[in-house]
Amino acid sequence: MVDEKKLQEKARETLIRDDVRRLIGWKRGTYGFEAAPAVVTDASQAEQLIFDATCVANPASFIAIEEKKPVPRGAEPDTRKVAVMVKGCDSRAVVQQLVEKAYAREDVVVLGIPCLGVVDRRKAEKLFGQTGAQVSAKVDKEKVALDIGGDVKTVDRSNILMDKCLRCRYPNPLVSDFLLGEEVEKWADDDFADVDEFEKMSPEDKWKHWDEQFSKCIRCYSCRNVCPMCYCVECVVSKLRPQWTRRSTDISENTVYHVQRAWHLAGRCIECMECQRVCPVDIPIMTLNRKMTRDVKEMFEYEPGVDVEAEPMLACYNPQDPEEYIM
Amino acid sequence: MSEEFEPNIVAFLCNWCSYAGADLAGTSRMRYLPNVKIIRVMCSGRVNPLFLLNALQQGADGVLISGCHPGDCHYLEGNFYARRRFMLMRKLLEHVGVDPGRVNMSWVSASEGAKFADVVEETVAKAKEAGPMDQFRRRQINW
């Protein structure tokens, strides 16, 4: 794991630079199993930055959604860089944003952190209940040691880490200017067994499942707001002219909302699982996204967020693409 | 009410090939099923998959997207993009539990009036098999 002192030192060094506007990382949350994302603008604040297994949030979500305020007359626009700390999965979001030209490579300073997995709040709360204490966590290849307000508990990795970490293929950042800490060895592979399992269900059962899940949706749009790939200035679901989906929370509009969200992430979703993590009503959103990821990989041999030089999946084609259903 | 279920099909036809193909079917007095409601678009690449969702919401039981044969697109590559999109959309809807037979795509050129009639027949047959689309159709709310 990365040494906190070294991380803060590097952050300070980065923030002192004239060409860096701010740094996005993590700080200790007020309570609970998740660290809070932190935006730091001054070098003196660098000591609040941390990294451990509670740092679940994806800082790459905050790079591209900055509000562009009008520049006062006579003033120059702020073209300084944004520094961002990324884990392996977060770095894929940066890569995919670069592929889509959300910003240029020279507009970001990426501080990469090799990661051994992060704690799933839901799993932790199931084991230890909700806590009002601040939690820190150390993770190694076998165990996770949680420090819940001074009370240290050791748990097996598979019982507490996020599902994405148990099948993580990119623990090391794919893009980084500085690497904080030693590179780690990959420990798992992804065989999409969960997607296969779901596909065995009959269409009726599938719809029954989704009917139940989508009916819960309160359309808070947390999943959209937290998503690193959802950085459109005007989102299709907020648009009124044309109004694609109505804002009422009935099964029809909810289904269309979730289907179109999964569709807009087809070939772009980098599986940071943020959408599912923030969902207040526990809708398994990743089931849809992972289906898309699997199909895109199988049919078009494309994997998002890996290669900065790649073309976006739906902006290119192969004349030999499958078309078995076309009459 | 023992009438057979007659599905509504919304067909998005490209201006240059499929619409002309449908036109040819009409001018050559071929019979094709009247369930299909045709919407002319400039290219199959114009069809946003959200059109499809919207059609299913508003009462369609099946959707047909038809364009020029690959390589014959008036805009050179529009149908290649459409092919990728609808391939994925179909898989996604299948995952949600919507019968994949509701999403149909075909290549019909301007000279293939007879093929258009066949395609419509097949589309309607598939939609009939899938039954009325009642999964996420918009319901009238009585206040």
pLDDT per position as a tens digit, A99-143: 999 999 999 999 999 999 999 999 999 999 888 899 999 998 889
What are the backbone dihedrals phi and psi of residue A188, each rounded to the nearest 5 degrees, phi first? -145, 170
Interface of A with B (CB under 8 A): 198-199, 203-211, 236, 244, 250-253, 255-256, 259-260, 262-263, 266-267, 287-288, 291-292, 295-296, 299-300, 313-315, 317, 319, 321-323, 325-327
The order of strands in the sheet holding A36-40 is A36-40, A20-27, A81-86, A108-112, A178-179
Rg (CA), chain B: 15
ipTM: 0.92
8 Å CB contact between A75 and A105? no
Q: At what angle do helices B78-96 and A285-300 cross, to 10 degrees?
A: 140
pLDDT digits (tens, 9 = 90+) for B23-38: 999 999 999 999 999 9
* Chain CA centroid to CA A226, Å: 8
Return the SS3 of A209: helix
Rg (CA), chain A: 21
The mean pLDDT of chain B is 91
pTM: 0.92
Q: Is A245 exposed, middle or buried (0-12, 13-18, 19+ CB in 10 A)?
A: buried
DSSP H stretches of helix in A132-192: 157-160, 163-166
- Whether residue A252 and residue B96 make contact (CB cut-off 8 A), yes or no, is no
Residues in chain B within 8 Å Cβ distance of A259: 53, 92-93, 96
DSSP code per residue over B109-139: -TT-HHHHHHHHHHHHHHHHHH----SSPPP
Q: Sign (positive/negative) of CA torsion A284, A289, A291, A294?
A: negative
pLDDT digits (tens, 9 = 90+) for A51-94: 999 999 999 999 988 777 888 999 888 888 999 999 999 999 99
pLDDT at position A1, please?
Answer: 67
pLDDT at position A34, please?
Answer: 92
Q: Nearest chain B Cα to A287, which residue?
A: B95
- Closest in B53, B87, B91 to A260, CB measured: B53
Cα separation, B136 vs A101, whole angstroms: 35
Residue A309 has what DSSP assignment? T
Q: Per DSSP, what are the bridge partners of residue B67?
A: B107
pLDDT mean over A193-209: 93
